[in-house]
Amino acid sequence: MSATPTHRAIDAVWRIESARIVAGLTRIVRDVGLAEELAQDALVAALEQWPRSGIPDKPGAWLMATAKHRAIDQFRRNKLLERKHQELGRELEAQQEMAVPDLDAAMDDEVGDDLLRLVFISCHPVLASEARVALTLRLLGGLTTEGIARAFLVAEPTIAQRIVRAKRTLSEARVPFEIPRQAELAARLASVLEVVYLIFNEGYSATAGEDWMRPALCEEALRLGRILAELAPEEPEVHGLVALMEIQASRSEARVGPSGAPILLLDQNRGLWDQLLIGRGLAALRRAEGFAGSRGRYQLQAAIAACHARARTAEETDWPRIVELYAELAGIAPSPVVELNRAVALAMAFGPETGLEVVDRLTLDPALRAYHLLPSVRGDLLKKLGRFDEARAEFERAASLTENVRERELLCERARECERNLSAPESL
C-alpha cells in the first residue's frame, strides 16, 4: 500500500478511535492534557511505522497498546508511578512486567463510561464556551487544531491557545474525571448539550465567512449527539437535541442554491429534504417524549422542527401549533431570541400585524441591538404590509450587522426588491 492510502487509513482510524484512547488514558493518568499527548505520541508512531509495516489487523488496539506503553514510560520518567499507587489504592511494583497487566486491566474496562466522562470534562462549565467547543472537537472529534481553526474561520494560533488554556484550567481546577453526581448532572448535561448545538449551529448557519453552511461541522455535531444518546439513553434532552439536529440537517440540500446563495425555509424545495434524516429525527423525538416529566428546551425545539418536517408544503405548516410550542419554550427558557421566533410564528398564523407588534417591542431590548435577525424579521413583516421604504431600511441594517457574506448578499437583494417596489408605477 502506498503512503497516501496508508495515511488516509490512519486518519480514518484516528477519527474513530482517538476519543476512546484519550478517555481510557485520562482515567489512568488523571490529566486530560497528558492523556492527549500520549495518544498523539501513539499517532506519531503509527505515522512512522505503518507505511513500512502495513496497517495492523486491529489498528485501534495497536494505538491503545502504544499509548499505554508511553504512559508507563511517562510514569517512570517523571516518577509518577508512586503517586499513581496512592491514587489507585494499590501497591504496584516499578517494574514494567508488573505494571503492564494492571494498566491493561484498567484500560480494558467498559469504554462507554470513559467516553461519557471525557464528554463531561471537555464541556466542563469551568471553561469558557469557545474553549469547550475547541476542546470537544479536539478530544472527541479527533480534529486537528488546523481543522478546527478552518471550520470556525479563526486563526490557528488562537485555537491552539484555547486548547492549551483549557487543559491547563482543567488541571489547575483539579476537575475530576467522573460522571457528575445526580445533584449536578442536569447543569453539567446542559453544558454538554450547549456545546454540541453550538457546533451544529455554526455549521448550519455560519456566523461569518463566505459560506452559508459548513456541512462538516453539522456532521461532527450529529456524530457527537448520536454517541451521547448511546452513552446516556435515559436522558430525554439528549434525544431531543439529536432529534432537532437530525430534522434540521435533513434540509441541508435545499438550503443552498446552485451558486451557494441561501434559500429560506418557506422557499425551499421540500422534495430535496432528506427523508431518512427526518425519520431518524422523528424517532428520536418519540424517544424523548416517551419519558415522564415536562419537556425541555431541545425537545420543544425539535417538536417545532417536526411541524415543518411533517408539512408537505409550506402552506400546510401548522403555525398555530408552532406558536403554542414557542410559548411553552418561552416559559422554561425565556429569551429575546425565542420571543423573536414566536413573533415570526404569530405573523404566519395570524397576520404580519400581529407579529410586528411583538417585534416592535423587541427593538427596545438591548440584548438584540446588534442581532441582525431582528431587523431582518422586521423588514420581512414590513414588506408584507407594503411598507417598502421602512422594510428596505431594515434589510440594509440587517446586512450591515451580519458577518456572513452569503447572508449579506441575500439581505441586500431583499432591500433592492423593496426599492423596486417603491419605484414601480401604481396599478390603476
Confidence category of residue 84, pLDDT binned at 50, 70, 90: low
Q: Check whether 114 has a pLDDT greater than 60.
A: yes
Which distant-in-sequence residues (6+ apart) come within 8 Å of 184 by Cβ? none
Confidence category of residue 425, pLDDT binned at 50, 70, 90: low
Mean pLDDT, range 383-390, rounded to an integer:
97
pLDDT for the residue 101:
41
Q: Check whether 407 has a pLDDT greater than 80.
A: yes
pLDDT for the residue 81:
54
Confidence category of residue 9, pLDDT binned at 50, 70, 90: confident
Confidence category of residue 69, pLDDT binned at 50, 70, 90: confident
Mean pLDDT, range 11-38, rounded to an integer:
88
Confidence category of residue 151, pLDDT binned at 50, 70, 90: confident
Nearest-angstrom CA–CA distance, 395 and 401: 10
Nearest-angstrom CA–CA distance, 283 and 415: 41
Amino acid at 74: Q
pLDDT for the residue 131:
94
Confidence category of residue 86, pLDDT binned at 50, 70, 90: low
Alpha-carbon distance values, 322 to 65, 263, 304 (Å)? 52, 21, 6
If you average pLDDT over each of 4-13, 70-79, 367-376, which comes out highest? Answer: 367-376
pLDDT for the residue 3:
54
Mean pLDDT, range 200-222, rounded to an integer:
90
Confidence category of residue 8, pLDDT binned at 50, 70, 90: confident
Q: Check whether 92 has a pLDDT greater than 50.
A: no
pLDDT for the residue 248:
98
Q: Check whether 109 has a pLDDT greater than 70.
A: no
More confident residue, 94 or 389: 389
More confident residue, 415 or 211: 415
Confidence category of residue 267, pLDDT binned at 50, 70, 90: very high
Confidence category of residue 28, pLDDT binned at 50, 70, 90: confident
Which distant-in-sequence residues (6+ apart) come within 8 Å of 189 by Cβ? 180, 232, 235, 237, 238
More confident residue, 57 or 287: 287
Nearest-angstrom CA–CA distance, 55 and 51: 8
Confidence category of residue 80, pLDDT binned at 50, 70, 90: low
pLDDT for the residue 112:
65
Mean pLDDT across the chain? 88
The verdict on pTM exceeding 0.85 is no
Mean pLDDT, range 208-223, rounded to an integer:
90
* Grid coordinates of 246: 437530525
pLDDT tens-place string over residues 328-345: 999 999 999 999 999 999
Of the chain, the percentage scoring pLDDT greater than 90 comes to 65
More confident residue, 266 or 102: 266
Dihedral in degrees, nearest 10, Cα atoms 231, 235, 237, 243: 60
Mean pLDDT, range 196-215, rounded to an integer:
90
pLDDT for the residue 269:
97
Amino acid at 211: D
Q: Which residue has the cell 482515567?
A: 27
C-beta separation of 207 from 403 below 8 A? yes
3 state SS for the chain: CCHHHHHHHHHHHHHHHHHHHHHHHHHHHCCHHHHHHHHHHHHHHHHHHHHHHCCCCCHHHHHHHHHHHHHHHHHHHCCCHHHHHHHHCCCCCCCHHHHHHHHHHHHCCCHHHHHHHHHHHHCCCCCCHHHHHHHHHHHCCCCCHHHHHHHHCCCHHHHHHHHHHHHHHHHHCCCCCCCCCHHHHHHHHHHHHHHHHHHHHHHHCCCEECCCCCHHHHHHHHHHHHHHHHHCCCCHHHHHHHHHHHHHHCCHHHCECCCCCECCHHHCCHHHCCHHHHHHHHHHHHHHHCCCCCCCHHHHHHHHHHHHHHCCCHHHCCHHHHHHHHHHHHHHCCCHHHHHHHHHHHHHHHCHHHHHHHHHHHCCCHHHCCCCHHHHHHHHHHHHCCCHHHHHHHHHHHHHHCEEHHHHHHHHHHHHHHHHHHHCCCCC
Range of lowest pLDDT (30-39, 242-251, 407-416): 30-39
Q: Check whether 238 has a pLDDT greater than 90.
A: yes
Q: Check whether 357 has a pLDDT greater than 80.
A: yes
Nearest-angstrom CA–CA distance, 134 and 42: 22
pLDDT tens-place string over residues 272-303: 999 999 999 999 999 999 998 889 999 999 99
b/e per residue 49-82 (b: at least 16 CB within 10 A): ebbeeebeeebeebbbbbbbbbbbebbeeeebbe
Range of lowest pLDDT (86-95, 255-264, 333-342, 393-402): 86-95
Mean pLDDT, range 115-140, rounded to an integer:
92
* Grid coordinates of 264: 429560506
Q: Check whether 199 has a pLDDT greater than 70.
A: yes
